[in-house]
Amino acid sequence: MRHVKLDKIDRRILRDLQEDGRMTNVELARRAGISAPPCLRRVRALEEAGLIRGYHAEVNSEALGFGVTVFAQVGLSSQAEPDLKAFEDLIATWPEVREANMLAGETDFVLKIVAEDWDNYQRFLTTRLTAAPNVSHVKSALAIRTSKYQPGVPIDVD
């Protein structure tokens, strides 16, 4: 990703789109204090620079039948780069794994996993995750509730 110097208008555009990705270009331009054509050019430049990676809808997991969220701390037997990459490639094929972060320290990865219920998570755990090559141990933490969910990063526009 190439480095882009961001001015106040760019940061405002990023902040507003991060909060509401469905905002029209006209509304986005109004909030940024510019007209629509240069606003659209700026948005496209931010996309091309890799600062905007995509747009998506935030869906209600519980309404879709996924009532369980688990954070699994995964330890691997080997942390050699080919083994790490093989694990990352494998978990990328598992739709239940919604996020995966490699960590420094005692745990190698923390995975955010969704399941319909606890039984389905246990089945995933025993048939896929703990059975995966190079996995030495897994600690599961069941999420009780989400107190804060704010994707993205804080963007200062002042």
**DSSP characters over 119-151:** HHHHHHIIIIITTSTTEEEEEEEE----S----
72 burial via Cβ count (<10 Å: 0-12, 13-18, 19+) = buried
Tell me: the pLDDT tens digits for 61-80? 999 999 999 999 999 999 99
pLDDT in tens, 24-44: 999 999 999 999 999 999 999
In this prediction, residues 92-103 reach a mean pLDDT of: 98
Cite the DSSP H helix spans in the chain. 8-19, 25-32, 36-48, 81-91, 118-124
Whether the per-residue pLDDT at 1 is higher than 70: the answer is no
Write the DSSP symbol of residue 96. Answer: T
Q: Quote the mean pLDDT of the chain.
A: 95
Phi-psi label, residue 66: left if phi above 0, alpha if psi -120 to 50, beta otherwise = beta
pLDDT of residue 50: 94
How much is the pLDDT for 5? Answer: 87
The residue ranges of every structural domain in the chain are 8-48, 68-142
Q: Hey, which CATH number is domain 8-48, 1.10.150.80, 2.40.420.20, 1.10.10.10, 2.70.98.10?
A: 1.10.10.10
Residue 37 CB neighbours (<10 A): 10
- Give the whole-angstrom CA distance, residue 146 versus residue 114: 13
Q: What pLDDT is attached to residue 2?
A: 58
Tell me: pLDDT of 22 over 60: yes
Q: Please give the CATH architecture assigned to the domain spanning 68-142.
A: 2-Layer Sandwich (3.30)
Residue 93 reports pLDDT greater than 90: yes
Q: Is the pLDDT reported for residue 13 higher than 80?
A: yes
Q: Which residue has the higher pLDDT, 72 or 2?
A: 72
- Please report the pLDDT score of residue 4 as a whole number: 72
Q: Which residues of 95-106 are buried (b: 16+ CB within 10 A; e: fewer)?
A: ebbeebeeeeee
Q: Binning pLDDT at 50, 70 and 90, where does residue 6 land? A: very high
Q: Could you report the per-residue pLDDT of 100-137, keeping only the tens digit for each?
A: 999 999 999 999 999 999 999 999 999 999 999 999 99
